[in-house]
């Protein structure tokens, strides 16, 4: 019998906890789990030609991707981070706004607003490369986040705004790789590469990424809870 998305998530959270491969913040459940070796995974991404060629990189705001966010600023690239729960859209941090040596602080969720600025949808630059956090990943690129659909929505928003398709990479602990048949919805975002503490590999994913927001799946409640969706609708369809 096929397991549900949530059953797979809980298996991974439990495995990370039992094998002591998770890192602060705890508990690992109901979040993108931080993991031992996150810096190594970040270094594998940093070595990618696609990363090196990118000028603007969008990264999720979670703890395991902090080493990469810091590195993006050190490498002189522009960082775009969604606000938690997409309440206020996106925060942009340009490397020239960050004094040398303060990159880690500027890339942390608690301080990013004092270095960067929230930008309206109309001012989002073209994104060259996208990094997402994950709870579980199938080697073929199917992905499970924590279950609230933010990465899928963020990619959809950027496509709605006219951003060309962008390569998507995730960094995880190798124990977050699963062979389970992850159920998939049409709006789910697949990943092109997976970086772990052990290395980087391409998924050769056969799954198409969202071309935009599937508005029929957006509830009134979500429109109110994520004002950015309401702004996007008004920008494009009113």
DSSP for 179-235, written as a single string: -S-----TTPPP-SEEE-SS-EEE----SPPPSS--GGG--HHHHHH-HHHHHHHHH
pLDDT (0 to 100) of residue 37 = 98
Q: How far is CA 81 from CA 65, 93, 106, 115, in A?
A: 11, 8, 11, 12
For the question of whether the overall pTM of this predicted structure is more than 0.85, the answer is yes
pLDDT (0 to 100) of residue 84 = 81
pLDDT (0 to 100) of residue 87 = 82
Burial class (CB in 10 A: 0-12, 13-18, 19+), 142: buried
pLDDT (0 to 100) of residue 2 = 82
17-31 tens-digit pLDDT:
999 999 999 999 999
SS3 45: helix
Place of tokens 């039992």: 18
Residues of the chain where predicted confidence (pLDDT) is lower than 50: none
94-124 tens-digit pLDDT:
999 999 999 999 999 999 999 999 999 999 9
pLDDT (0 to 100) of residue 85 = 78
Q: Quickly count: other Cβ atoms within 10 Å of residue 16's Cβ.
A: 23
pLDDT (0 to 100) of residue 207 = 97
DSSP for 6-37, written as a single string: HHHHHHHHHHHHHTT-B-SSS--TTS---BTT
CA distance 123 to 144: 29
Whether the Cβ atoms of residue 21 and residue 162 lie closer than 8 Å to each other: no
């Amino acid at each position: 019998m096929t397991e549900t998305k949530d059953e797979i998530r809980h298996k991974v959270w439990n495995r990370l906890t039992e094998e002591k491969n998770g890192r602060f913040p705890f508990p690992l459940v109901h979040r993108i789990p931080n993991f031992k070796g996150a810096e190594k995974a970040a270094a594998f991404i940093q070595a990618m030609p696609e990363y090196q060629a990118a000028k603007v990189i969008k990264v999720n705001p979670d703890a395991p991707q902090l080493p990469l966010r810091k590195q993006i600023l050190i490498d002189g690239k522009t960082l775009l981070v969604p606000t938690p729960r997409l309440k206020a859209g996106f925060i942009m941090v340009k490397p020239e706004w960050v004094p040398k040596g303060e990159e880690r602080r500027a890339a942390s969720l608690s301080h990013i607003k004092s270095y960067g600025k929230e930008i309206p949808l109309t001012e989002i630059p073209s994104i060259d490369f996208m990094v997402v956090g994950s709870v579980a990943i199938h080697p073929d690129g199917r992905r499970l986040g924590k279950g609230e659909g933010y990465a899928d929505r963020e990619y959809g928003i950027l496509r709605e705004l006219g951003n060309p398709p962008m390569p998507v990479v995730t960094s995880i602990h190798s124990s977050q790789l699963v062979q389970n048949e992850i159920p998939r919805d049409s709006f789910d975002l697949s990943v092109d590469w997976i970086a772990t503490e052990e290395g980087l590999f391409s998924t050769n994913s056969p799954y198409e990424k969202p071309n935009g927001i599937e508005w029929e799946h957006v509830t009134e409640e979500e429109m109110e809870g994520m004002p950015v969706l309401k702004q996007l609708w008004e920008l494009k369809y009113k």
